[in-house]
Amino acid sequence: MAKHVLRLTAVVYILFLLVLPVGLIIWRTFGDGLGPFVEALTSPSAVHAFKVTITVAAWAVVANTVFGVGAALLLVRHEFPGKRLLGAFIDLPMAVSPVVVGLALILVYGRFSPAGGLLESWGIQVIFSTPGMVLATVFVALPLVVRAIVPVLEELGDEQEQAAHTLGASRLQSFVRITLPGIRWALGYGVVLCLARSLGEYGAVAVVSGRLVDQTQTLTLFVEERFQNFDQPAAFAAATALALIAVVTLLLTKLLRPKDLSDGN
Amino acid sequence: MSVDAAVGVRPSRRLAGGTAAGLGTAVLYLSLIVLIPLAAVVWRSADEGPGYFWRSVTTPDAWAALTLTIGASALVAVVNLVMGTLIAWVLVRDRFPGRAVLDTIIDLPFALPTIVAGLVLLALYGPQSPLGINLAYSRAGVVLALMFVTLPFVVRTVQPVLLELDGEMEQAAASLGARPFQTFRRIILPNLLPAMLSGTALAFTRAIAEFGSTVLISGNLPFKTQVAAVNLFSQIEGDNMTGAAAIATVLLVVALVALIALDVLQRWGSRRG
């Protein structure tokens, strides 16, 4: 009896908080068939928003992947004073509000700050432009790749790498042949999480982009702007597209996650 | 192979050239993107002295937004503590068709962009609600949005602990005549508590910081439904950077306190484990 009450409570809670709302928007979007959905997403503004989103996300994922692998190796394979502090700093972005991220970047890289002014004199505009949006996205997604790799690197140990070293392999060789294959699933997992976070970032990008339609508007900003302008079909279509990306992400991470655990053992 | 084996016996290394270069690069990267900008926020907030800081934080609209945010986040944290533990329990201990699907979609709020989360909730609980429930522009709407985005935290911290907790202790307790409630209170709860509390702390931190999901459903009415992050956003739009920095600093401090509490909880948990 108690078992059934608990089960029912959990299912109803998830149903009304999660499944029905997401289901409703997908149903509303496709209610009139695929035509309006495609039409709404192929308008010039929507296509532009797609392009901006992909550009920003691609840069952010590359930056965070390179940093993520390097930082994870540093944290697991090297000893240095302040290691715990570095780990804490890497986790810090998780606790910072996206709007605070935006403000922080404006204060340092905005036109009226010393650094921003200097960059502007070199012809590089950061805030209200792509570099600032990339910085904001890198900031919010920073810990994801590191945190995905660290446990697997720890499980893996460095015996094989040392063996490779003894046999005359260079650092690069042992990284490419030994370390990278060992962490490939975890790396994939981290990259997928990072990509999803980058495609979906709203708050930080809303602050640093200036929300200029057809210029710095990403897909998430497009959703908000269309909705506020009473263009529900376009807002719902873009939201559904983003929701579908989220579902694919979820399934991908589900596929990748058990593997890195079995890899580690 | 365990973490100990990887960390424990290791030839002592000086700060080798490779380490120093890597560390330098990592610290430089973190500084340029995270540390210097965050320090700039705190620095800017103190720009006009403590009096100005205090006035910025206690303007009626900022104060209302901060108290609403902290209050709603605390409420949502408690809801998560109960519901998250319950869901984790059902996912681990119960068997029914659809359980695996439920287990997968729990993470959806992490993958879904926050603005989409807000829109989705507004579709079901807004003016055009097919259920006839309209929470738009109300504090209940804010709480709902925060509940949505924080759903996975407690579930995902409690679940692994529950998985490791095998039934033996419970069976022993039952064979010694303990009632189900006694077993829960004396055996299960003490084991789960550290995980439950750290999940709750994470959910609280996230709720304090939340922006995107509340934008559409709250209507951002000052004094009524405007959360701190939205208030901060409007200060930035209004070019009041020092005031914005003051509110941002308060948010950073609250998050920091919650994180320190979390760290303490985790140490407590690992000591008990």
Q: Specify the amino acid at residue B83.
A: M
Residues of chain B with pLDDT under 70: 1-15, 272-273
Q: Which residue of A has its CA nearest to B42?
A: A104
Spell out which residues of chain B touch residue A20, defining contact as CB-CB under 8 Å. Answer: 124
Using the predicted structure, report yes or no on whether residue A174 has a pLDDT greater than 90: no
Residue A187 lies in a domain: yes
| Sequence-distant (≥ 6) Cβ neighbours of residue B207 within 8 angstroms | B69, B72, B73, B76, B77, B146, B149, B150
Of chain A, the percentage scoring pLDDT greater than 90 comes to: 63
Q: Which residues of chain B make contact with A102, given a CB cutoff of 8 A?
A: 236
CB-CB neighbors (< 8 A) of B229 in chain A = 97-100, 203
Give which of B120, B208, B233 to mutate to test A binding, by max A Cβ within 10 Å. B120
Look at residue B273 in the predicted model and tell me its pLDDT.
53
Yes or no: say if B213 and B220 are a contact pair by the CB < 8 Å rule: no
For A204-257, the pLDDT digits (tens) are: 999 999 888 889 999 999 999 999 999 989 999 999 999 999 999 999 988 887
Residues, chain B, total? Answer: 273
What is the spatial distance between Cα A238 and Cα A37, in angstroms, rounded to a whole number? 8
Interchain CB distance below 8 Å, B119 and A235? yes
A11 neighbourhood in chain B, CB within 8 Å: 90, 98, 102
Provide the pLDDT confidence category of residue A160 given band limits of 50, 70 and 90.
confident
ipTM given for this complex = 0.89
Which CATH number covers residue A176? 1.10.3720.10
**What is the Rg, in whole angstroms, of the alpha carbon atoms belonging to chain A?**
22
Q: By the 8 A CB rule, do B126 and B217 touch?
A: yes
Contact flag A104-B40 (C-beta cutoff 8 Å): yes
Distance CA A151, CA B145 (A): 32
CB pair distance less than 8 Å for A247 and B111: yes
Is A220's CB within 8 Å of B251's CB?
Answer: no
**Amino acid at site A92:** L
What is the pTM assigned to this prediction? Answer: 0.90
Q: A28 to chain B: which residues are within 8 Å by CB? A: 123
Do residues B75 and B143 make contact, with C-beta atoms less than 8 angstroms apart? Answer: yes
Query: What pLDDT, on the 0 to 100 scale, is given for residue B272?
Result: 64
B74 three-class SS: helix
Cα-based distances in Å from B182 to B92, B173, B178, B185 = 20, 9, 6, 5
Q: What does the angle CA A92 – CA A209 – CA A204 come to, to the nearest 5 degrees? A: 25
CA dist A99 and A201 (Å) reads 11
pLDDT of residue B5: 42
Q: Dmax of chain A from CA atoms?
A: 72
Read off the pLDDT of residues A29-75 as tens digits, 9 standing for 90 and up: 998 888 889 998 999 999 999 999 999 999 999 999 999 999 999 99
**Does the distance separating the beta carbons of B180 and A2 come in below 8 Å?**
yes
Domain map (residue ranges) of chain B: 14-45, 49-272
Please tell me the distance from the alpha carbon of residue A218 to that of residue B113, in angstroms, as a whole number.
12
For an interface test with B, the pick among A96, A201, A223, A224 (most B C-beta atoms closer than 10 Å) comes out as A96
Per the CB < 8 A criterion, the answer to whether A204 and A221 are in contact is: no
Nearest CA in chain B to A104: B37
The number of domains in chain A is 1
Q: Roughly what angle, to the nearest 10 degrees, separates helices A20-30 and A232-264? A: 130
Q: Position of tokens 């299960």?
A: B188
Tell if the CB–CB gap between B212 and A105 is shorter than 8 Å: no
Of the candidates A73, A65, A68, the one whose C-alpha atom is nearest the C-alpha of residue A154 is A73
Q: In sequence order, which ranges of chain A are alpha helices (DSSP H)?
A: 2-14, 20-30, 34-41, 44-77, 83-91, 98-109, 114-121, 130-156, 159-166, 171-174, 180-200, 203-209, 219-228, 232-264
| Domain-located, residue A105 | no
Contact list, A113 vs chain B (CB under 8 Å): 40
Say whether pLDDT at A145 is over 60: yes
Residue A110 falls inside a structural domain: no
> What's the confidence (pLDDT) of residue B8?
42
Check whether A259 has a pLDDT greater than 60: no
Is the model's pLDDT at A155 over the cut of 90?
Answer: no
| pLDDT in the model for residue B258 | 86
Q: Which CATH architecture has domain B49-272?
A: Orthogonal Bundle (1.10)
Q: Choosing among B211, B216, B252, which should be mutated to test the A contact, i.e. which has the most A CBs within 10 A?
A: B211
For residues A202 and B114, the answer to whether their CB atoms sit within 8 Å is yes
pLDDT of residue B270: 74
- Determine, yes or no, domain membership for A149: yes
**Higher-pLDDT residue of A260, A150:** A150
Measured CA to CA in angstroms, residue A4 lies from A12, B158, B159 at distances of: 12, 20, 19
Interface touch A246/B116, C-beta < 8 Å: yes
Chain A CB contacts of B205 under 8 Å are 94-95
Pick A96's closest partner by Cβ from B25, B86, B255.
Answer: B255
Structure tokens, A24 = 């409703």
Of A52, A16, A212, A39, nearest to A134 by C-alpha is A52
Q: Is A137 part of a structural domain of the chain? A: no
- Say if residues B173 and B186 touch (Cβ distance below 8 Å): yes
CA distance A104 to chain B (A): 5
Does the beta-carbon distance from A227 to B256 stay under 8 Å?
A: no
Residue A155, domain extent: 36-95+144-202+209-264
* C-alpha separations of A103 from A193, B45, B204, B232, B241 in Å: 24, 11, 22, 9, 8
pLDDT of residue B6: 43
Measured in whole angstroms, the distance separating CA B197 from the mean position of its chain's CA atoms is 11
